[in-house]
Amino acid sequence: MSDEQWLREGLSEAVPAPPAAPDRAAGARVKARRARRTTILAAGCTAASVVLVAGGMALLGGSRATPDGATDRGPTAPGVTGCPAEPVDTRTQAGPDHIPDGAISVRLCRGFGGAIEVPDDALVSGVDEIAAAINGLAAPGPNVLCTGELGPGYQLVFAYADGTTQVAAGELYGCRPVVVNGTERLGADAPWKRFIDLLRAQRSGATPPATLDHTAIDCDQAGRVPTLGRPQELAVAAICVEDTLNSGVWLRADISSADLATLLTDMAANTERNAAYVDCDPGRLPRIVGFTSWGDRIDIRAGCGNGRFATDPDDHSVWSPGPEAAAIIDRLVGEAR
């Protein structure tokens, strides 16, 4: 197995299949609209980003600009400040072709494509910076070539004092479009990263909610693309391991506070960026699943027995547990029920 294959397989663990559409008709309409905008040209793939590459190149169509309305607001329902129950199809929404200033909060929500970890808290400081990051993106030019791939999608939901909301939908794959009320711009990574940086800064000056206990951990839940949470910030965790290889039946053993402290200390000392592939027999690969004190779910999987946990897909960081940490993991795998 080559380094490229190993990176692709490791990164694909973080990108589950896209969530099902609310109904077949709605899904067909979205698919048809996107099909009309995209022409597949040639096959290709990459393993250098957090995506599961399906192969292909696409020719991006032009965006559809919508002039500002009298109130500079979209038609979304008043009083909605949380995430919508289902992702909003921003390509069909009417309203201004940008995110207006003056929002009182913005939330990161799931979009179309692979699932992401959605933070519980909203950003309330520096909200206009996120709007500016979106509005400042360039519109697609003619004949823009994009890779045809599958990856995570997100939505940023801006809430205003009058109860209205505006939604910007980003795709962290293909041409990386961001769509606001039918108007398309390119560069979905910029507002995504800026939101994460600002919310982490906001958290640094605040007190996290009550610590979750082990009962909230679900080994059966599929992993999602990480957003704010980092494995080094785990507050509560468990070891999850399959009963038999590829059985889909997960056993678990809760990690005590003392053992977790040892694992996190070892993780800080033995994590390598841009780690190379190491060939080994996969066996029953344990996962460490848990939550940070802010409620961010963490799910990291060993890539080689009890070692080589991929901890950050952005820089290909890998944690290789030292002897004491490896012994703890081995013991917990044996205790898993």
Mean predicted confidence (pLDDT) in 153-175: 96
Confidence at 317, pLDDT banded by 50, 70, 90: confident
CA geometry: angle at 230 spanning 227 and 233, to 5°? Answer: 135
Separation in Å, CA 322 to CA 84, 188, 255, 307, 328: 44, 38, 17, 9, 10
Helix, coil or strand: residue 65: coil
Backbone φ and ψ for 159, nearest 5 degrees, come out as -110, 140
Mean predicted confidence (pLDDT) in 190-206: 96
- Residue 14: name the closest of 305, 222, 252 by CA: 222
312 vs 302: CA distance, rounded Å: 13
By the 8 A CB rule, do 303 and 10 touch?
Answer: yes
Q: Which residue has the higher pLDDT, 127 or 1?
A: 127
224 vs 51: CA distance, rounded Å: 12
pLDDT in tens, 217-251: 999 988 788 899 999 999 999 999 998 877 889 99
Of 2-16, 29-43, 120-134, 259-273, minimum mean pLDDT range:
29-43
Of 68-72, 82-86, 121-125, minimum mean pLDDT range:
68-72
In total, the chain counts a number of residues equal to 337
What pLDDT is attached to residue 323?
A: 95
Confidence at 38, pLDDT banded by 50, 70, 90: very low
What pLDDT is attached to residue 278?
A: 65
